Structure 1
Amino acid sequence: MKWTGRFSGYSADAFRKDLISGCIVGIVAIPLGMAFSIASGVKPEYGLYTTIIAGILISLFGGSRFQIGGPTGAFIPILLAIVLQYGYENLLIAGFLAGIILVLMGVFRLGALIKFIPRPVTIGFTAGIAVTIFSGQISNFLGLTGVGRHEYFLPNMAEIIKRLPTLNIYSILTACICMAALVLTPKYLPKVPASLIGIIVSTLAAAWLFPGQVTTIGSAYGAIPGGLPGFHPISLTWDRIVLMIQPALIIAMLGGIESLLSAVVADGMTGTRHNSNRELIGQGIANIVTPFFGGIPATGAIARTATNIKSGATSPFSGIIHGIIVLFVVVLFAPYASRIPLASMAPILMLVAWNMSERKSFAHMLKTRSGDSIILVVTFLLTVFTTLTTAVEVGLILAVLLFVKRMSETLTVDKVLPDPSSANEKIKAHMVTEDHDCPQIGIFNVEGPLFFGASQAFEDSGLQLTGRHQKVVMLRIGKVPFMDTTGEANFTRLIKRLHHKAVTVIVSGIQPQPRALLSKTGTLAIIGEDRIFEQTGDALDAAINLIQVDKCSGCKHFAFRECTELSRKAPLHQNIS
């Protein structure tokens, strides 16, 4: 996607639309930026700085016209775990390294690979992240005090139960007011950002009805500084790079998945097409720069991108404007944000978790009661009870094993014969019976990929095939689309076994990839170029020319149309029926 393509035909009317949509998305992004950063274990201003800097850079350098970037809910469990284990400064290093990884992924055109992550895995860890986000806000919703934050789900739940006696009724009232605003605003004021209304109404209610009774952003984290984001140098050492490379890989992987999913959603809503590799580069640049201003990792935000499109955006200018609006608000109104109760933030994040939970897709996949259901549940449970890294690794391994099993089951080897009642005497398996089977020629259909996962199935079929007493074996492999080196080794071993038993092997319908592999390994030379045919008819003619005619005398099988003539020509003293 060229720069000119992103802004071709840009006009004053298009700018007006981008200005409106950018303002709307900017207003939506402000409470979310603070909420996501607080839930990630860092100060709220760092979420706002991420929204500003990453939001502008992703729109400038990304591969989607409508993508809105910034901190997202999907990152919360990962970032919180990194902060708890390594600290905030090391989180910045992890974000910086993740940015480099994303740029490299884009440069080496790996954007398409992320799309191959199985759907049960993505739905499983997304639902697991949603549970983690939701459960992480229970303490703020209830106004519990002295709650320690832990990396894993069960210790966090135990901590909440332990601190239940510190429950604050005023926090619950504040959270309920915010939740009511979140539910009612879309119904009665659909064009107004519900999260902003929820925060304003609940903050005003808490300040007026029970001042000083609930914990606020200011009392918990200190006042949010106004003004421009300051430069925040990060200390890059080799030891720190080695320490944070694994967390960086996790951030890069999830950021890549999230951003490309968001871009696909935008494509579906607008009929456009994003450039996945450029999108990764844009995401990478944003994550390289943002840590130098204290910002946390960012990616494409699906909900904000959808809001951007619905608000009438026409180009990446809307994303740039959204970052400028947030900067404007931070410069002028940051001190007021310090008065927002934490109980007002909790319902917003709970609603985010509910919306991202993929509950319908989750339930639908469970109903299939298939291998995918197992992958889904395992990935979900591991995401909740262990770490996202473990969940994705195990989920992918299970998906690969399931894929190999399914593919191995598609391989079939059937003995076949022509059906004289069908047009062109098509080759069919049901024609072979005890009384209708040529004693000299065996025709076998091989269907499915010949690869390591199907090695046992092919080996078993090969043993049955070499156990027969035919003079000629004809292998129809036109429906073998792929062959790996394991499949080639098994195939070659079968050919050599048949040759050892003085059986002539004829092959028909070989596809380009298997042909190229068998040519490189010398198997085609073993078979003989004069024994390899494109069409089944030519291969069958060659096979019939190789049989011993004298053994056709008295044969009652009549497997081929030529059998009548061959039986007539054969000496009468032979009888093999």
Structure 2
Amino acid sequence: MKKISFHPKLLDTLPGYDAGQFGRDLSAGLTVGVLALPLAMAFAIASGMSPTAGIWTAIVAGFLISALGGSRVQIGGPTGAFIPILYGIVVEYGVQNLLVATMLAGAMLVLMGVFRVGNVIRFIPKTVVIGFTNGIAVVIFLAQIKDFLGLRIEHLPGEFFGKVHALFTHLDTLDVPTLALSVASLAVLLSWNGVARRYPALGRVPGPLGVLVVATVANAILHLPVETIGSRFGGIPQEIPPLALPDLTLATLGKLISPALTIALLGAIESLLSARVADATIEDRHDPNQELIGQGIANLIVPLFGGFAATGAIARTATNVRTGGRTPVAGMLHAGVLLAIVLALAPFARHIPLATLSAIVVVVAVNMGEWHEFRGLGRFSVNYRTTLLSTFLVTVVFDLTLAVELGMVLASLFFIYRMSDLTRVEREPLPELTLLPHFLYPDGSPRVVAYALYGSLFFGAIHKLETLLDPAERHPEVVILDMLHLVNLDTTGLEGLESLCKNLHRKGCALLLCTLNPQPESLIRRSGFAEEVGVNNLCADMYAALARAKVLLPSFMDEDNL
């Protein structure tokens, strides 16, 4: 294991940092800060938390993720992907236990970084990532129907079927003013970019912030009959929250391990995906393990301020890059911008309509899904389609942890099947037999046969050795295995070779191995199988194996030749 190191990307960017770069980082920080404000509140409310919790999650976690992470441009904070997970935890365990689960997840993320699990996260197949991403988008969309339509549901269940049943049975409580404002907000959001192209001044204002300001001002003036942050949450305090440890009891700690693991897993996947996407745009390479450590520390600390789970946000990170952010300073400044907004403008937040925040989350859900992958499923194999659709459906109906576990199991099984299919054992012709009659029995059948092994001889392909010799045929006296094209051998494959060797010896046959690649040869020698098969029976190539066979044929039962 490599030496554990703690080296935030910020340290690499400080040498040579100048006023010009600070100006670009400041511009990016201002833009991302105003974009993060409505998203933080919307994601918090959708997760069953207060808008204040969302804002302080963006401030505290956003600062720490940038300052301590392994990416130059990562922007951290609450994200839409966490909504169904956090909402389910709040419904089942309560807000205080969500804070505890967040801290546990933070500790897990730190350990993942320390033990260099960041590189392993990259091995999660694309099918699994697409499946759970699209599934999360559907779950988020379903959860927003209540506030989008203004349905009078006191407690929306976290479980899929209970949620659908509650929404369907309460459709008669639809509030027309809320629906009208939701549709209007959605229309403005969807048309914002098009209008901004015609009026460049609008292009400097993020769509979510623009619609939030317009709806809030309209509600403050017209006193619309819709639910607001003030009516549901009592507004946003204009102060820094006091530090406080969440309540913790040993009775619930064990129950929170699984939710915490889900938070940590999703946080690791989303943050590293975001960092990898950003790398391609700035021609840099993030440190995945340092990124996990930074994410973990942020999630350990943010609950002390009443905040909840945070991770790298792909959309905000992309905005940071587009507006000139190139160092972690931009992310730290974005947190400062949010802090300044809260301290200066918190009283106005009480007029923000929840319908508008719901419309913002709906757009986020639609945009986060890779729906084009469904349209193109016909181009891919049954294995690809099965893994993606299974992960998607289990995410929607059950939960993300089960979906990822199922997706990984399916992807692994299909990979094993594919690798097994690629592993071949084929009879290899030996032209020399026609020139050496004593290599043949009197009836013309061969005393020496050779087989070529292709691919990987592992636990999923060991059955290929079982059909190597036909019992109905006269058995040879020497069997040569040409392993030139065998790139990998595991312990189960080695066990198969040992079994083959013993069976051949019982029949009075000798086994020769030739043209071994480094990995199979290393395992064969380290395991002691080389002595079992005979050190002299490990041959450099086929010609050496045939020469060894000539020695063995007259007296292959002579132990001195083995």
> What CA deviation, in whole Å up to 9, does each residue of 1:57-109 have, x standing for no partner?
00110000000000001100100000000000000000001111101111111
**Out of 69, 93, 105, which is 2:100 matched to?**
93
**1:95, 1:288 within 8 Å by CA — same for their partners in 2?**
yes
One of 9, 31, 38 as aligned partner of 1:31: 38
Is this contact kept in 2: 1:67–1:301, CA < 8 A? yes
Alignment of 1:479 with 2:485, yes or no, is yes
**1:204 matched to which residue of 2?**
217
State whether residues 22 and 308 of structure 1, in contact with CA within 8 Å, keep that contact through their aligned partners in structure 2: yes
Question: Larger deviation: 43-52 or 331-340?
Answer: 331-340
**Contact 1:50–1:71 (CA under 8 A) maintained in structure 2:** yes
Consecutive unaligned residues of structure 1, counting only runs of 5 or more, are 421-436, 550-577
Superposition map of 1:300-315 within 5 A: 300-315=312-327
Match of 1:439 among 434, 446, 460: 446
Residue 536 of structure 1 and its aligned partner are, at CA, apart by: 2.2
1:143 maps to what in 2?
A: 150
**Aligned residue number for residue 383 of structure 1:** 395
3-state SS of the aligned residue for 1:305? helix
Moved more, 300-309 or 333-342: 333-342
Q: For 1:368 and 1:410, locate their aligned partners in 2 and report how far apart those are by CA, in whole Å.
A: 19
- Distance change >3 Å, CA 230–CA 516, structure 1 → 2: same
In 2 relative to 1, CA 474–298 (structure 1 residues): closer, same or farther, beyond 3 Å? same
Aligned with 2:360: secondary structure?
helix
Is 1:452 equivalent to 2:459 in the alignment? yes
Q: Is the 8 A contact 2:448 2:477 kept in 1?
A: yes
Matched pairs, number: 532
> Which stretch shifts more, 337-346 or 410-419?
410-419
**CA apart distance, 1:162:** 1.5
Alpha-carbon deviation of 1:277?
0.4
Asked if 1:296 corresponds to 2:308, the answer is yes
After superposition, the Cα gap between the structure-2 partners of 1:222 and 1:536, relative to the gap in structure 1 and judged at 3 Å, is same
Q: Which residue of 2 aligns with 1:340?
A: 352
> Residue type of the partner of 2:546?
L
Contact 2:25–2:330 (Cα < 8 Å) also in 1: yes
Question: Which stretch of structure 1 is more off in the superposition, 483-492 or 366-375?
Answer: 366-375
Alignment match, 1:194: 207
After superposing the two structures, state which structure 1 stretch, 281-290 or 160-169, moved more: 160-169
Change in 2 beyond 3 A, CA 1:480/1:468:
farther
Distance change >3 Å, CA 377–CA 521, structure 1 → 2: same
Secondary structure in 1 matching 2:429: strand
Question: What is the CA distance between 1:185 and its match in structure 2?
Answer: 1.9
Q: What letter is aligned with 2:205? A: V
| Residue 510 of structure 1, CA deviation | 1.4
Partner deviation per Cα, 1:511-530 (whole Å, 9 max, x = no partner) = 22222222233221122121
Matching residue of 2:190: 183
Alpha-carbon deviation of 1:413?
A: 0.7
Cα distance between partner residues in 2 of 1:3 and 1:196: 29
Answer yes or no: is 1:497 the counterpart of 2:503: yes
- Change in Cα spacing, 1:10 to 1:466, as seen in structure 2 (3 Å) is farther
**CA separation of 1:93/1:263 partners in 2, compared to 1, >3 Å: closer, same or farther?**
same
User: Could you give the per-residue CA deviations for residues 229-268 of structure 1, whole angstroms, max 9, x where no partner exists?
Assistant: 3212223343332221111111111100011001001101
- SS in structure 2 at match of 1:462: coil
Aligned partner (choices 99, 106, 114) of residue 107 of structure 1: 114
Q: Which whole-Å CA distance do the structure 1 matches of 2:59 and 2:378 have between them? A: 40
The equivalent position to 2:233 in structure 1, one of 221, 232, 239, is: 221
Query: Which of the numbers 158, 162, 181 marks the counterpart of 1:155?
Result: 162
Decide whether aligned partners of structure 1 residues 171 and 273 sit closer, same or farther in structure 2, where only a CA change above 3 A counts. Answer: same
SS of residue in 2 equivalent to 1:449: strand
| Counterpart for residue 273 of structure 2 | 261
Give 1:538's aligned residue. 544
8 Å Cα contact 1:178-1:201 kept in structure 2 = no
Per the normalisation by structure 2, the TM-score is 0.91
Cα distance in 1, alignment partners of residues 279 and 430 from structure 2 = 50
- Aligned letter for 2:346? A
Letter in 1 for 2:461: A
Q: 2:382 aligns with which of 370, 393, 408?
A: 370
2:25 is matched with 18
Q: Which amino acid aligns with 1:78?
A: I
Partners of 1:177 and 1:207 lie apart in 2 by 17
In the superposition, relative to structure 1, how do residues 3 and 27 fare at CA in structure 2: closer, same or farther (>3 Å)? closer
C-alpha distance in 2 between matches for 1:494 and 1:150: 59
Cα distance between partner residues in 2 of 1:337 and 1:16: 29
The equivalent position to 1:358 in structure 2, one of 370, 374, 378, is 370
- Report the secondary structure of 1:482's partner residue: strand
Q: Normalised by the size of structure 1, how large is the TM-score?
A: 0.88
CA pair 275-139 structure 1, distance change in 2 beyond 3 A = same
How far, CA to CA, are the matches of 2:194 and 2:289 in structure 1?
Answer: 39
Instruction: Tell me the residue number matched to 2:419.
Output: 407
2:129 is aligned with 1:126: no
- How much has 1:466 moved relative to structure 2? 9.4
Matched residues in 2 for 1:305 and 1:238: separation? 38
CA RMSD in angstroms, aligned pairs only: 2.0
Tell me the CA shift for residue 456 of structure 1. 2.1
Q: Which residue of 1 aligns with 2:522?
A: 516
Bigger drift between 144-153 and 334-343 goes to 144-153
Aligned partner of 2:538: which letter? I
Identity of aligned residues (%): 43
**Aligned position for 2:558:** none
Distance in 1 (CA, whole Å) between partners of 2:91 and 2:128 is 26
Name which of structure 1's ranges 233-242 and 303-312 shifts more when overlaid on structure 2.
233-242
Pairwise CA distance, 1:3: 4.7
1:248 pairs with 247, 260, 264, which one?
Answer: 260
Identify if the C-alpha distance between structure 1 residues 222 and 73 changes in structure 2 by more than 3 Å, giving closer, same or farther. Answer: same
Please list the CA deviations of residues 381-438 of structure 1 after superposition, one character each: whole Å capped at 9, or x if unmatched: 1111111122112221212211111111111111011579xxxxxxxxxxxxxxxx96
CA distance in 1, matches of 2:431, 2:185: 74
2-structure distance, mates of 1:465, 1:413: 16
Specify every segment of 5 or more residues in structure 2 that has no aligned partner in the other structure, as ranges. 1-6, 197-202, 433-443, 556-562
Partner of 2:333: 321
Tell me the SS of whatever aligns to 1:125: helix
